[in-house]
Structure 1
Amino acid sequence: MKFVLICALALSGATAATAQDLVYSNAATEACLATVTGLDRLGCVGASAGACMVDTPGGDTTVGMGGCFDRERQFWDDALNEAYAALMVIYTESDAFAASEGMNLPVQSDALRDMQRAWIGYRDARCDFERAKWGGGTGGGPATIQCLMGLTAEQTFVLRDGMDGLQ
């Protein structure tokens, strides 16, 4: 898995970026995704956060990095929720059809829901581990948010790929 990892130390004299100071756009991630497919999509994760860190005064501070990672995490979280909702509609309709035809099949919508709930627990535990590796240091915050961003993007691709051929 290739994720953009930007772990710069705060420069002496640099001012910390605040949420309202962030210069963030989804454009870098969207442009990258438009040019790649399959596993290469993972290389796009962090593109907008990286651009934000460069474009935002103080974007190389822990506050700036955390804010930029969080904005892209929000982008991926929205995409994940959209993909999940679309799959849930597809599988709920499929389950209803199977039941109406008297088919004794596993309930796909329940399996999707259970998988997503289990993934959330895994995501949180993995990102807690990322934070723990920083030993309480200030880099733990951005590392955690970067982890959440990356895993959410990866799960978005899993769900989107689950829709291929279903629509």
Structure 2
Amino acid sequence: MRRVLAVAVALLGPVSVVQAQDLNFSIAPTQSCLAATADPAARRACAGKAAEACMTNNPGGETTVGMSSCLDQEVKQWDGWLNAAYGTLLSKAQASDAESAKWGTSAPKITPVLREMQRKWIAFRDTTCDFEMSQWGGGSGTGPAGLNCLLRLTADQAIYLERAWLGD
């Protein structure tokens, strides 16, 4: 993710910091969408609602710099939600592994598999977004394409992790 974001920032240049401060971003459209449904497919469709509103409701939001700023802010929100879901799932896995050890079962441990899955997902996400960015040939759409990819895949993983423990 850092590599993808570094490329996006490099493409935007120093002007993005000044213009990004002028944009009014609110995560409320995404939160409202998420609150309206428990269905995973419908929740996935919520990803990007706040960035879209940011791009539409701000002068300059439709520019490459504006789009990138709006997308980046929503990516950060989803990344926080993903980390919270992962932390909850990790705690459940560790508790389950401890309970299994207490009873002396031969059940495979969940915690190491969860950690490995998440590490491999990060590699998948970064490689997928690098591929999507490469299709822009270094053009002005490269940054927004990479951030849109990060947004989509991070939201998907956050929603997956929220429900991963036996459908919780």
Normalising by the smaller structure, the TM-score range is: 0.7 to 0.9
In structure 2, the residue corresponding to 1:30 is in which secondary structure?
helix
Deviation at 1:51, TM superposition (A): 0.3
Unpaired runs of 5+ residues, structure 1, are: 1-14
Deviations 1:123-142 (CA, angstroms, capped at 9, x unpaired): 00000011001011010001
Partner of 2:4: none
| TM superposition shift of 1:34 | 1.4
CA distance in 1 between counterparts of 2:166 and 2:101 reads 23
Higher RCO (CA-CA < 8 Å; seq separation 6+): 2
Q: Residues 125-136 of structure 1 correspond to what in structure 2 (within 5 A)? A: 125-136=127-138
C-alpha displacement of 1:96: 0.8
Q: Encode CA deviations 1:96-120: one digit per residue, 9 max, x unaligned.
A: 1111111111110111100000000
Q: Tell me how far apart the structure 2 counterparts of residues 165 and 152 of structure 1 sit (CA, whole Å).
A: 19
Per-residue deviation, residues 51-79 of structure 1 (Å, max 9, x unmatched): 00012210101110001000000110000
In the aligned structure 1, how far is the partner of 2:167 from the partner of 2:72? 32
Match of 2:87 among 82, 85, 88: 85
**Structure 1 equivalent of residue 51 of structure 2:** 49
Partner of residue 124, structure 2: 122
Instruction: For 1:58-69, list aligned pairs within 5 A.
Output: 58-69=60-71
1:32 aligns with 2:38: no
Gap regions ≥5 residues in structure 2: 1-14
- The TM-score normalised by the length of structure 2 is 0.86
Identity over aligned pairs, percent: 46
Q: Which residue type is aligned with residue 19 of structure 1?
A: A
User: Aligned residue for 1:95?
Assistant: 97
Structure richer in helix, relative to its length? 2
Whichever residue aligns with residue 20 of structure 2, its letter is A
Of 146, 151, 154, which residue of structure 2 is paired with 1:152?
154
Computed over aligned residues only, the root mean square deviation of the Cα atoms, in angstroms, reads 1.6
Q: 2:159 is aligned with what amino acid? A: F
Please identify, of 156-165 and 110-119, the stretch whose mean Cα deviation from structure 2 is larger. Answer: 156-165
Deviations 1:136-158 (A, max 9, x none): 10100010001001100000011
Cα 1:124–1:157 shift into 2, 3 Å: same
Kindly state the Cα deviation for residue 38 of structure 1 after the two structures are TM-superposed. Answer: 2.3
Structure 1 length as normaliser, TM-score? 0.86
Local SS of the residue matching 1:44: coil
What is the distance in 2 between the residues matched to 1:25 and 1:41?
Answer: 18
